[in-house]
Structure 1
Amino acid sequence: MSPRTTDRQTVADEAYTVMRRAIRSGDLMPGERLVETDLAERWGLGRNAVRTSLARLEQDGLVERSPFRGARVRVISEAEAVEILEARSVLEGLAARHAAGRVTPEGLEELRALLRRMEEHSRAGDLLASSDVNSQLHRRIVELAALPIVARLIDGLHAQNVRHQFRTVLAPGRAAQSLQEHRAIVDALATGDGDTAEAAMRQHLAHVVETLRSLQKPR
């Protein structure tokens, strides 16, 4: 492989990472139209790199393209969102189990600091900021588990679920309940009890599923 080919590949990989992160964070929202020239200008990317990235994101199931409508961030159905959460429950439960055996005092302090930030945002009524910290806490637990394959699978599931994540955190009473559930997860990690940590994580995500399903019911 020539140095020029390597450079092109590096640029394409960087573009893919930037755009994937934007979808996962909600910076690019479900249903949003993706215009190559706009995306290239927004992030200072080449159009070829953007085009290649859109093709990769389509393969990931994060983007959909059609001949007449162009590319858009794919909107997943609520049934898909429930399935994603159920899959996350299994994988993140496994991550919590392993994290319980590997977490250090420093790691626990990081998690407790994130809990405090969640509580501060919730108290201030900034539920979307609390949701963002919530995601950081989940991500840190996965990192502490040190399971690279599981981490990669979880990352793919998170990226597809932005719209539904925002909807559930805004449900009445959900923020306070979520905070309690996350405290239970961190407390279980602190004891080093993998069984309890896994059960607490799975219960938390089961409650998220219940909330999402309740939002689907006719009013």
Structure 2
Amino acid sequence: MTGEAVHPLSGVRAKCLAEQRLRDEITRGAVAPGQRLVEPELGERYGVTRNSARLALDVLIAEGLVERIPNRGARVRIVSASEAVAILECRQVLDGLLSRKAAENATPGEIDLLRVNLERMQRAVADQELLEYAALIREHYRLVRESARQPMASALVERLQGQIIRHQFQLLLRPGRPQQSLAALTRVVDAVAERRPDTAESAARAHLQGSSTH
């Protein structure tokens, strides 16, 4: 046979590719909680080297989506409904604080980025692109954290977010939930843009109160 062998991707691009693909699979339930994650198999599936797959797993472990079990390797972390509710209760306080600080500290350029992301969220909901919408919600959180300039709260939210990402995506599948979520996040962005800290905080809390897993 002629033709060149296909070599797996390596480096930062490969790690980011594997990380995003696996995160999306976990989020939408294509990879189930408790399922083992074997580096060579992941590398083959995503067309990356084993080392790139391992580095991607390390990122998702830090996010709380994956865990390593001694002598058994990595697996998708199992988060119970009660644990997810407890995390969301903590997130309500932290996200409220960050949104308040964003309303106080965001620059005009940062507000513009929040507005652009909001427009993308609106299109995703209108087109029923829920996986895209979930990714844009994560981007909203990131933009708010950067605007808030409250590094302690930001670090705590980053640690908690990955642990409930799949629960939040499952909630988006409920009828009417994407529209409710979008309305709450719209209020957050409007309040940040209009420098209304109290409203920004209450809207951020309301968004996560609507994310009960019961």
**Which deviations, in whole Å up to 9, do the C-alpha atoms of 1:1-24 show, x marking residues without a partner?**
xxxxxxxxxx9xx8xx86995599
Corresponding residue for residue 8 of structure 1: none
Superposition TM-score, scaled by structure 1 size: 0.75
Superposition TM-score, scaled by structure 2 size: 0.77
- CA distance in 1: counterparts of 2:83 and 2:151, whole angstroms: 24
Which residue identity is paired with 1:129?
A: E
Change (3 A) 1:86 1:35: same
1:50 to partner: Cα distance: 3.5
The percent of aligned pairs where both chains have the same amino acid is 36
Alignment of 1:21-60 (within 5 A): 22=20, 25-28=23-26, 29=31, 30-39=33-42, 43-46=48-51, 50=54, 57=61
Contact 1:26 1:162 in 2 (8 A): no
- Kindly indicate which of the two structures has a greater share of residues assigned to helix: 1
- CA distance in 2: counterparts of 1:111 and 1:200, whole angstroms: 15
Change (3 A) 1:100 1:21: farther
| Runs of at least 5 residues in structure 2 that lack an aligned partner in the other structure | 1-10
Corresponding residue for residue 111 of structure 1: 114
- CA distance in 2: counterparts of 1:149 and 1:120, whole angstroms: 33
| Runs of at least 5 residues in structure 1 that lack an aligned partner in the other structure | 1-10, 214-219
The 4+ residue runs of structure 1 with deviation greater than 2 A are 17-32, 36-47, 56-62
Which residue identity is paired with 1:81?
A: A
- CA distance in 2: counterparts of 1:169 and 1:124, whole angstroms: 14
1:32 to partner: Cα distance: 3.1
Corresponding residue for residue 150 of structure 2: 147
Which residue identity is paired with 2:61?
A: L
Mean alpha-carbon deviation: is it higher for 158-167 or for 28-37? 28-37
Tell whether 2:139 aligns with 1:136.
yes
